[in-house]
Structure 1
Amino acid sequence: MKKLIIALSVLLVTSFVAQATTLHTPDQEFIDLAGQYGVTQENWDSGKNAKLTMQNAYRFTSYVEMENGAFIHDMGKASGLDLSRIYGHDIDGPIAMDILIRDRLNQEALVILKDGKLVDEYYWNGMSKYSTHLMMSITKSFTSMTLQTLVAEGKVKMENSITDYLPELTSSPSFSKATVQEVADMRSGIKIVFAKGKMWDDRMTNVQEWNGQNKYPELKSILDFGELVGKRTDFDTGEMYDYQCTNTEMLGMIIAKVTGKPLAEAMENRLWKKVGFSSNAKIQSNSNGEAVGSGGLNATPRDVALMMDVLVNDGKNRNGDQIVPKAFVESLLAGNKDVRSAWSKGSESKLAPNRWYKDQIRTFDIKGHKFLAFVGIHGQLTIGEPSTGTVLHFNGAQDEMQAKRTVALTFLSTIPILLDAVNAK
């Protein structure tokens, strides 16, 4: 009888754990339907399909659902910001901001917060405040902030070698020479050889099963790919800012190693259940449950805006709980000589010189506004201005990745104009 009770107890515990981290398989019925319109697992993430797929991205891959917690932040009723009365500028002259954001910048949502309260929200292309949307590289910032909770607990030291936590990378010609901080700052010195027509090595996306079955079965984990990544020969480790998704995936592996839990579960426990999010989120993964920490988050625009609100509120949620350390937020805003120097050598410095990228988050100072930014490749963007408590979150579905025109129009014009309008209310 005692053995039976113990066996049942183990079964209940393992069942609960399995439920908390349930791995969902691709939605084959949805994939078959999408195929009738020419959208497949192989091409769902292309820019031409963005308007169709960004709200349904998780259906094309395996994914894990992250549950929100008991505390749900009340944003209140919108105080109102009429975009039709605010004018921006495009190459053809002044244009109402609602048209510019929706039609010229291909945005599907805009959420505006001030001191944690809702100023206004706009949704297009069938979205609502309950809709999830693929955040692409905004995910990187969430992975980094999850890591920072471990730093705060003394479980990870940013100045340590990454191999202290991932000994599997000891043989890597690049990662073996980098600290955790250099990896987090995209200063690891890795050399990624892009696959034809892509901005990444397709061995990485294959092991993540981002576009269907893995064509490199010898790669079982993203760590297997990390071991193979080469090293730059033109710059030493730590010298150059070079934006590569593989860096973030290694941070996700550190989180998994240190916590003993998959990245998705660690992020759920440390962020999703604590910030005050109103909805569950989904994070895409491979069939082994390795979450895509560099780009797989599917969340509501409101919740992503609320994550940035934590940073503009000194790392606290609006319930007064410290989510990430205040010192971490201060370090993002202050930067340092290493990240400034590394930024100056990267391509983004042409748009915004003398700025920086630190811990998977950008800091800008444009037209009198100093703000933090989570950035995704198809126009997903979250802005936080700590000095005014203002947050802007955009959900883009742009057909061209990192197009010079849309990036310049967004950062150099649209954001400063909106910040001015919110702060003038």
Structure 2
Amino acid sequence: MDGTQQEHTPAGVNMNNWRLPKNLRWSFQHMADFLPTALISRGEGTVAPLPAAHRDLDSVRLAPAFPSEAPLSVGSVMAAAETDGWMFMHRGTVLAEQYFGQMKADTPHLLMSMSKSLIGAVAGALIDSGVLDSDARLTDYLPEVAENGYAGARVRQLLDMRSGIDFSENYLDPSAGVRMLGQAIGWSALKAPGPTGMYPYLRTLVRKTAHGGVFEYRSCETDMLGWICESAAKKPMATLLSELLWSKLGAESDATIGVDQFGTGIFDGGINATMRDMARFGSLFLNDGLAPSGERVLSKEWIAQTLAGAPDSRDAFADGPVDNLMPGGMYRNQMWFPYPGDEVVLCLGIHGQMVYINRPAEVVAVKLSSWPTPQGPAKLSRTLRAFDAISAALLVEANTAPPASAAPAGN
């Protein structure tokens, strides 16, 4: 279904202005038009079908977060959160799929940090095949890391963002590490002298605490993980993503990954893909690593240990230096767990990107957005609650009535 919002199509978008609020909707859907990218091929395999049985999910009501909260519906949440597209799948069938502005089913959208979850899946596939060892030191694959702050760190600590590296993810601080990284890779104008390129930048990082401590969300962890994967497999990440993931999903479309001045992938947030293909990716975490195509992408063991976490994953998450607004949650293998337990799993990206997996409800949902600011806690919370509300209604329906009889009632 196409929305009716009008899309602003700006002239002269470039690395200096593409993240201005007025340009975001256009730039997130046209990254290859103004920045360099590499192809992630879907290969020659058959497209995995996504059968549809569309229903009115806009009217599903959210449970109030507090007694005085104004009534909210799924439709009102999506309308108020700069939604470019959203979809909802139950047991592999699409119940809702909406696009706004000029975005369509075949439009690639910048995933921002949902890219991290795809890199985590590549690492998982390499670990499954024995090419990569999660317990190995980084220096086993990259001897040059012995000369920087990652010396002594292990692959597992990158996967769970528990190294001791000194890096700030404060998006609003122009001097933060995440902003220096953006300058180094050519995603923003150079405002201060520094290294050019992803790997030269990573070589400058220093350690602030012992490796293996508390969780701290840092994009550089995924960039280092991508570098380790490339070194272990002796292939560029675009090729690994194609061979190990995209060609097995039954994807409809090729994806792309942004690259720096030397052709190195921007692993932490540079992948562009369609909403439908991201729903296929989310299905891996419902089906024990099997793609909708029927091909195995990740082992049952990898999925199981992702869901279980380490014995101290939740303590490490709670004790981190930033309140992640997910009490009882954790971060494991580049995936978010917003609640206690393993029922709900998320891929998240700034400016409103989400893949939502609800295992008991057999649900995968996706929302792609262009929030004007990198973070929006209220919008994130309401999106999560909207998907929770639909999932809860489907569970109630399944337990009280024949399936697919009517649109689920709000809760």
Task: Give the TM-score, by structure 1 length.
Answer: 0.84
1:210 aligns with 2:187: yes
Q: Structure 1 pair 175/405, CA: closer, same or farther in 2 (3 Å)?
A: same
1 CA distance for matches of 2:150 and 2:342? 35
1:402 aligns with 2:375: yes
Note the C-alpha offset of 1:222: 2.1
2 CA distance for matches of 1:395 and 1:319? 23
Q: Partner of 2:166 in structure 1?
A: 191
Q: Partner of 1:25 in structure 2?
A: none
Give the counterpart letter for 1:329 in structure 2. I
Q: Structure 1 pair 66/369, CA: closer, same or farther in 2 (3 Å)?
A: closer
Cα RMSD of the aligned pairs, angstroms, is 2.4
Q: How does 1:225-236 map to 2 (within 5 A)?
A: 225-233=201-209, 236=210
1:266 aligns with 2:211: no
Q: How does 1:59-78 map to 2 (within 5 A)?
A: 59-69=33-43, 70-76=45-51, 78=52
Q: Partner of 2:343 in structure 1?
A: 370
User: Which of 228, 237, 253 does residue 279 from structure 1 map onto?
Assistant: 253
What is the aligned-residue identity percentage? 24
Conserved in 1, the CA contact under 8 Å of 2:108 and 2:255? yes
2 CA distance for matches of 1:350 and 1:308? 22
Cα deviations by residue, 1:99-123 (Å, 9 ceiling, x for unpaired): 3212x22211111112222222111
Structure (1 or 2) with the greater helix fraction: 1
Conserved in 2, the CA contact under 8 Å of 1:316 and 1:323? yes
User: Which of 89, 92, 97 does residue 121 from structure 1 map onto?
Assistant: 97
Cα deviations by residue, 1:112-160 (Å, 9 ceiling, x for unpaired): 1122222221111221111111100000000110111110111111011
Q: Partner of 1:106 in structure 2?
A: 82
Q: Structure 1 pair 168/300, CA: closer, same or farther in 2 (3 Å)?
A: same
Q: Partner of 1:421 in structure 2?
A: 393
1:292 aligns with 2:266: yes
Q: How does 1:18-417 map to 2 (within 5 A)?
A: 34-35=10-11, 39-69=13-43, 70-76=45-51, 78-88=52-62, 93-102=70-79, 104-172=80-148, 174-193=149-168, 196-197=173-174, 200-211=177-188, 219-233=195-209, 236-346=210-320, 349=323, 351-365=325-339, 370-411=343-384, 413-417=385-389
Conserved in 2, the CA contact under 8 Å of 1:189 and 1:238? yes
2 CA distance for matches of 1:377 and 1:163? 31
2 CA distance for matches of 1:199 and 1:405? 24
Q: Structure 1 pair 422/54, CA: closer, same or farther in 2 (3 Å)?
A: farther
Q: Structure 1 pair 221/279, CA: closer, same or farther in 2 (3 Å)?
A: same
Note the C-alpha offset of 1:220: 5.0
Q: Structure 1 stretches of 5 or more lacking a match?
A: 1-32
Note the C-alpha offset of 1:199: 5.1
2 CA distance for matches of 1:410 and 1:318? 25
Give the counterpart letter for 2:375 in structure 1. Q
Aligned residues: 383
Q: Secondary structure of the residue that 2:156 maps to in structure 1? A: helix
Give the counterpart letter for 2:156 in structure 1. Q
Conserved in 1, the CA contact under 8 Å of 2:327 and 2:338? no
Q: Secondary structure of the residue that 1:190 maps to in structure 2? A: coil
2 CA distance for matches of 1:343 and 1:80? 38
Give the counterpart letter for 1:96 in structure 2. S
2 CA distance for matches of 1:347 and 1:108? 32
Structure (1 or 2) with the greater strand fraction: 1
2 CA distance for matches of 1:199 and 1:419? 38
Cα deviations by residue, 1:164-183 (Å, 9 ceiling, x for unpaired): 111111011x3112111001
